[in-house]
Amino acid sequence: MKTEKNTHELQLYYFDECPFCQRVLNYLKENPKKVTLKNINTTPAYKDELIQIGGKSQVPCLVIGTTPMYESLDIIKWLEENA
């Protein structure tokens, strides 16, 4: 049984030079989802937020509500199934 689509706020922490981030960003270009993009290189406060949420500055990181998810393929799979 399918559950309702995700209603949590989605935030993607990334930076442009990261190839794994580009994988997720390219997916989002082809499959628009309601995701707030947060570039940790252009806005240092976003990097601080990311570390506070997950304890590390690893990107890409999709924050689902308050729960961080790492790994580009896991993020894409989650978005396909839930967003």
Whether the predicted pLDDT of 81 surpasses 80: yes
Residues 6+ apart with CB under 8 A from 16: 22, 39, 41
Q: Provide the mean pLDDT of the chain.
A: 92
Whether 78 maps to a domain, the answer reads no
Per-residue pLDDT tens over the stretch 2-20: 334 556 799 999 999 999 9
Whether 83 maps to a domain, the answer reads no
Whether 47 maps to a domain, the answer reads yes
Whether 81 maps to a domain, the answer reads no
Segment 54-71 shows an average pLDDT of 96
Whether 2 maps to a domain, the answer reads no
Count how many domains the chain has. Answer: 1
Q: Which domain holds residue 36?
A: 10-73
Is the CB of residue 50 less than 8 Å from the CB of residue 57? yes
Model's pTM, two decimal places?
0.90
Whether 22 maps to a domain, the answer reads yes
Which CATH number characterizes residue 14's domain?
Answer: 3.40.30.10
Whether 1 maps to a domain, the answer reads no
